[in-house]
Chain A
Amino acid sequence: MTAIREHPTYVAAPAPIEARVRAVLAGVPDPEIPVLSVLDLGIVRAVELGPDGAVRVAVSPTYSGCPATAVIRSDIVQALRQAGFEKASAYDQLAPPWSSDWISAEGHRKLREYGIAPPGVDRELACPRCGSKSTRRLSEFGSTPCKALYRCESCLEPFDRFKCH
């Protein structure tokens, strides 16, 4: 089920609260690429404050059919509740659509270290293991909606690449 924003009584959270919420979210991993936090992935679009100290997080789904979306929302809510934000909720924000350009520089570094080539222009694509730019695309689709499969022509290892989206 898609969570829909219903109550207009929420406003942008004041900076100190937003900072506390973001500190919690920095520890919430993407369930399919656990090396990335939801912040690294750039899917957290807003932190809002409602009545009685309720906080609400706007989350942009990466792909329409990504099964991780519902898990991410529930992980975010659970982490915030454990951190003391008892009335925490999360909702999907479709517009503007999520872009792989929103993955942070830190996210790019973590992806490379994890063995996944980050999204970007083709001429900068390099094997995450040996750094060679001699690569070949094996498949436009991969093990999750956000990845394609490549092989390094130098070290001959296959690797995932985060798709530009």
Chain B
Amino acid sequence: MSATATASAAPDAAVAAARVRYVLRLADASLVLAQRLGEWIGHAPALEEDLGLANTALDLMGQARLLLGYAGELEGQGRDEDALAFLREEHEFLNPTLVEQPNGDFAHTIVRQFLFDAWQHELYTGLTSSSDERLAAIAAKALKETRYHLSYSSGWVVRLGDGTEESHARMQGALDALWPYTSELVETDELDRKMIAAGVAPPMEPMAAAWSARIDAVLRDATLARPAAAIYRWSGKQGRHSEHLGYLLADMQHLARTYPGATW
């Protein structure tokens, strides 16, 4: 980490713009996954899982609100959390492609959650030492929630992976289907590197190694096989998404766009 830019110093315009986009990446990851998990409310396989998925969604929504509010302040153009959530277009969303993937069956939902939780756990642990104090505070708060989510999702990965023939097959199928979306979580692009250099984002290599080690340990307990690395690279965090995000946003933004400024 060469530079030590802080919110109080005067970072150059490029770093300031990059910081807004970086915070939006974090915010959108939580927001989009919260929206997906919300689709389960009233439909989960058991009441306990309905509560689990809904409460996880609520935590993620809270994180998204804190992060979107901060991104709006950094941007300084008068956009608040609602404007950023409801009035941006698909290509302006910077979440990793993984979180917008459809719920599928419970196996898909749980595998997606586990891959995300394990990543968020390492990322937010690193962010607690960010040079950006506001981001560090949000991460420290969210990390406590993430630990609980990770315990829940990894518990289900083991139970279902090491469960019946049927549950094992479904979990392996979900893992094979979702694995290609993980590469963008643990690989850096130019924006990441800029934020790492500014001390805002934590260095990627140790996080990627810790993420990978946790995945291996849980998959071993679950008797699931880690898929081979995929060749194709998704780039949702740069605004290029799979076909699923547009439908999710249409659902999420419909009310706010149909009745601008509506309150209740």
Contacts and interface: CB of A to CB of B under 8 A. Distances in A.
Contact of A140 (B133, B145, B148): B148
A97 B73 CA distance: 21
Residues of A in contact with B, size category: 20 to 34
A11 interface: no
A1 B80 CA distance: 9
B65 interface: yes
Interface in B168-206: none
Contacts of B60: 65
SS class of chain A's interface: helix, strand, loop or mixed?
A: loop
Contacts, number: 78
B148 A64 contact: no
A142 B51 contact: yes
Interface stretch (B89-97, B136-144, B233-241): B136-144
A54 interface: no
A97 B148 contact: no
Contact of B137 (A1, A94, A139): A94
A163 B148 contact: yes
Interface residues of B, number: 32
A18 to B, nearest CB: 24
A91 B80 CA distance: 18
A65 B69 contact: no
Contacts of B140: 94-97
A165 B145 CA distance: 8
19 contacts: A2-B69, A4-B73, A61-B141, A63-B145, A64-B59, A64-B66, A64-B142, A65-B62, A66-B62, A94-B141, A95-B136, A95-B141, A97-B137, A97-B144, A98-B141, A139-B52, A141-B52, A141-B55, A149-B48
Given A63-B59, A63-B62, A97-B144, 20 more contacts: A1-B69, A1-B81, A63-B58, A64-B59, A64-B63, A64-B141, A65-B59, A65-B63, A94-B137, A94-B138, A94-B141, A95-B133, A97-B137, A97-B143, A138-B48, A139-B52, A141-B54, A141-B55, A141-B56, A145-B59
